Amino acid sequence: MKKHAFIVLFTFLICVKQSWAQANLLNAKVPQEIGIQNEQQIKADNSSPIAYGYVDDRDILWSKTVWETIDLDERINFPYYYPTINNGYLSNTRQSLYRILIDNINSGNITEIYSTSYFNEKLTPEDLEDRLLSKKLSAIGIEKSNSGEVVTDNDYDIYKIETDKVIQYRIKGTWYVNKRLGELKYRLLGIAPVAPDVSTLSEGPAAMADALVPLFWVWFPDARETLSKSKVFNSRNSSQPITFDNMLNSRRFNSVIYQEENVYEDRAVDQYIYEDALRQLLESERIKSVIRDFEQDLWNN
């Protein structure tokens, strides 16, 4: 009986593994067949996100909400940045996190979009256009306008936020101790791509570097269904990618805390430690230590 159960489990894992790889790659007779799954693969490819367990407010012994920055210049965070191109070839099977978010916002799959990390000002796709697209009169357009000629759409230079302009992500989440389980847990609440203000794209790198802003905040639970269907390239084994939902929930990234909830109106670290990057980093590590130490002290007292 145990042997039979092991064979069934092993067969299931093999099917799941095959479904995670690029479907039909080794069996395709023509390139057009690559990526086409058969019925068995479709059934085995259960890409629904793992549901969060219900947590009663009375079970939360302690909690702290923090805001963090994920710097995409760090190698460990590269999977969230690449690929930067959207040429219809590589981007058919691999997309950056920003491209997945913006495409699904435009298609209506992600609807909980907000302007701040407190999720109190909801945005529509139309509102996002002003944040992501800028039109300025070209030199020829200015000449036409000054001479009284009719200015057309062709007389404008268009600047748009694309994947390569997104250099950071900001996330908001809550650490909490579940007294029923007796362990420290983390729940990701929101994520925001950070890029230069679209109005500075025409002014050069220096102006862009000084004008980084969060483009929009996504309520993370609303995006989980979409992110669980989007795979991240695995540089160690390309036949077994991982989903963005799993990557973010398992905290497979490096980040720095830039803000925590506090009595001073949730002020950020750089608001009370001025122009000192080292001390700001040490303050971030101190906040992390407070979170870690609470779990340790829970069992030592």
Kindly report, residue by residue over 217-266, the tens digit of the pLDDT.
999 999 999 999 888 887 788 777 889 999 999 999 999 999 999 999 99
Q: Are residues 102 and 74 in the same domain?
A: yes
Asked if residue 128 belongs to a domain, the reply is: no
Asked if residue 232 belongs to a domain, the reply is: yes
pLDDT at 204 over 50: yes
Vertex 279: Cα angle to 278 and 282 (nearest 5): 90
Asked if residue 94 belongs to a domain, the reply is: yes
Average pLDDT for 42-50:
68
Structural domain count, the chain: 2
Q: Are residues 220 and 288 in the same domain?
A: yes
Between 84 and 81, residue with greater pLDDT? 81
Asked if residue 249 belongs to a domain, the reply is: yes
Kindly report, residue by residue over 259-288, the tens digit of the pLDDT.
999 999 999 999 999 989 999 999 999 999
Q: Are residues 189 and 248 in the same domain?
A: yes
Domain of residue 204 covers 59-118+162-300
Token output for 207: 């102006």
Are the beta carbons of 260 and 284 closer than 8 angstroms? no
27 phi/psi in degrees, rounded to 5: -110, -5
Q: Are residues 189 and 251 in the same domain?
A: yes
Are the beta carbons of 72 and 166 closer than 8 angstroms? yes
Average pLDDT for 86-111:
82
pLDDT at 3 over 70: no
Are the beta carbons of 190 and 172 closer than 8 angstroms? yes
Q: Are residues 246 and 198 in the same domain?
A: yes
Q: Rounded to two decimals, what is the model's pTM?
A: 0.83
Asked if residue 251 belongs to a domain, the reply is: yes
pLDDT at 1 over 50: no
Query: How far apart (Å, rounded) are the C-alpha atoms in residues 291 and 284?
Result: 11
Q: Are residues 205 and 281 in the same domain?
A: yes
Are the beta carbons of 110 and 128 closer than 8 angstroms? no
Asked if residue 224 belongs to a domain, the reply is: yes
Asked if residue 149 belongs to a domain, the reply is: no
Token output for 37: 């799954």
Kindly report, residue by residue over 149-164, the tens digit of the pLDDT.
777 777 778 888 989 8
Q: Are residues 229 and 185 in the same domain?
A: yes
pLDDT at 38 over 80: no
Q: Are residues 5 and 88 in the same domain?
A: no
Kindly report, residue by residue over 6-26, the tens digit of the pLDDT.
443 333 333 334 344 466 666
Q: Are residues 12 and 108 in the same domain?
A: no
pLDDT at 43 over 70: no
Asked if residue 131 belongs to a domain, the reply is: no
Collapsing DSSP states into helix, strand and coil, what is residue 73? Answer: coil
Between 31 and 173, residue with greater pLDDT? 173
Q: Are residues 217 and 290 in the same domain?
A: yes
Q: Are residues 219 and 277 in the same domain?
A: yes
Q: Identify the band that residue 90 occupies on the pLDDT scale cut at 50, 70 and 90.
A: low
Q: Are residues 17 and 112 in the same domain?
A: no
